[in-house]
Amino acid sequence: MNIRTLTLSTLLYATLFSTDAAAQAPSVFLSDTSFSPTVDYQGNGSVNLTIGNSGDAPLEWEISIVAEEDPSFEGQPLEDTLRIFDRQFTDVTDLIPNRFDFTEGVTGTAIIDGGQDKFDIGNILTTNIASFIPYSDGIIIDSDSFGENGRYFTRKYPGLFLLAAEISDIIFFEIEGRFGNNAGSTNAPVDFIHDKVYSRLKGSLFKHVINFLIITPDDPEIWHRHSNFGYRPVVEKLNNINRIYYLLYASENGSDIDDEQSQKIFEAAVKILNPQSEWLNVNRKSGVVQADNAVGVIISFDSINISSGTYEAILQIETNDPVNTDFSIPVTLTVQDPEPQIISVYPVQIDFDRVAIGSHSSHPITIANTGFFVNYCGSISNFPQ
């Protein structure tokens, strides 16, 4: 009898203790289950997410962002690639050890020397369609040299040459020409490195006189190699891809840039070329909410480094709520189309008054572009009345 009474009391105590423990648990609630903001091109904004605790114990929470990157590089137009690289090229060049600011590479079709005998007429851009493809100095050019409807630009920065091209059904891309041999003539091996979904060809020519990166979307069919001449980087079987990027850089006096350093240069370039995961941020990533209380999290979005279009991400929230341990909040950002060029001319009318025969008169005019893309003024015409 005593044993039964003891057992009943023990069970009753355990039940009461369990009920009391459950009453002390946190209970999470969220103000929103999804967000769908819209911003202007190169605009920004923010929304607020409230994380509350209606329970009787402290709520611990942690938030992370899951955003998919574009593996094909096709989501960012060349116009945006140029604009962003112009603004952030130092993210790459600052990583080049003992950087050598070689000369030439702005206009023309080759680098004759570049300084320190880096070249002997080299850096000749070549595809199976054309050779001696002209440098464009930041102008985006429509060119069948990169296939039907091909487009490209080149840009020279201090210590860095960049080619970005939209390609269509070309067989190979090659860097032709001769490189200087003041540092010797032994070819360093070519490294094949895959990071995420990007394929990187890194090589050093003539004992590190010149270093280069050729970046493409990852495709098992693509073949990277040196040409039969031994010093020409070649990327072949490009039929199935639409983008290619080529970076050229060097150190002073041909000093070595090792794989670890080149990997950092590669990753910095990829971040500029495909920055889609950078558009969403939160002002705090974890915290504790006391019972019957709430905190606000500012979710900010910025389209300064992305193109117009739609972007998706997930806010993943984990808590110590025993019932609701995790939440997934979808975020869909819509970036509106930009105004390509907004041209204004001032003044709108010029009065030269009387001008004597044999003399002249002049007035300045201002042509302004407040749009987002470059406008090229081909001519100014005079229409006498």
Q: By three-state DSSP, how is residue 12 classified?
A: helix
* pLDDT (0 to 100) of residue 17: 44
Tokens 């039907």 -> residue: 148
The pLDDT value given to residue 187:
41
What pLDDT score does 384 carry?
60
Domain ranges in the chain?
78-273
**CA count, 13 A, side-chain hemisphere, 178:** 9
Tokens of 310: 């739609």
Query: Which segments in the chain show pLDDT lower than 50?
Result: 1-19, 21, 182-208, 230
Helix (H, G, I), strand (E, B) or coil at 26: coil
Burial of 360 (0-12, 13-18, 19+ CB in 10 A): exposed
Residue 355's region, left for phi above 0, alpha for psi from -120 to 50, else beta, is: beta
How far is the C-alpha of 221 from the C-alpha of 71, rounded, in Å? 16
> In this structure, are residues 35 and 45 in contact, taking their beta carbons and an 8 Å threshold?
no
Residue type (1 letter), 84: I
Those residues with Cβ within 8 angstroms of residue 69's Cβ, 6 or more apart along the chain or in another chain: 196, 197, 274, 276, 277
What is the spatial distance between Cα 117 and Cα 122, in angstroms, rounded to a whole number? 11
Q: For residues 385 and 381, give the distance between their C-alpha atoms in angstroms, rounded to a whole number.
A: 13
Q: How far apart are CA 180 and CA 123, in angstroms?
A: 11
Cα separation, 337 vs 79, whole angstroms: 13
DSSP states of 93-156: HTTSTTB------SSSSSBS-TTTT-EEEEEEEEESS-SSPPP-TT--EE-GGGBTT-EEEEEE
Enclosing H/E stretch for 287: strand 286-289
Q: Return the exposure string of 107-144: e unless at least 16 CB atoms fall within 10 Å of the residue's CB, then b.
A: eeebbeebebebbeebbbbbbebeeebbbbebebbebe
pTM value?
Answer: 0.66
Phi, psi of 195 (to 5 degrees): -130, 120
Write down the pLDDT at residue 257.
80
pLDDT of res. 232: 64
Kindly state the tokens that stand for 371: 């749009």
Closest by CA position to 246, among listed 85, 99, 119, 114: 85
Residue 162 · residue 155 · CB < 8 Å: yes
Q: What is the pLDDT of residue 94?
A: 95
**3-state SS class at 11:** helix
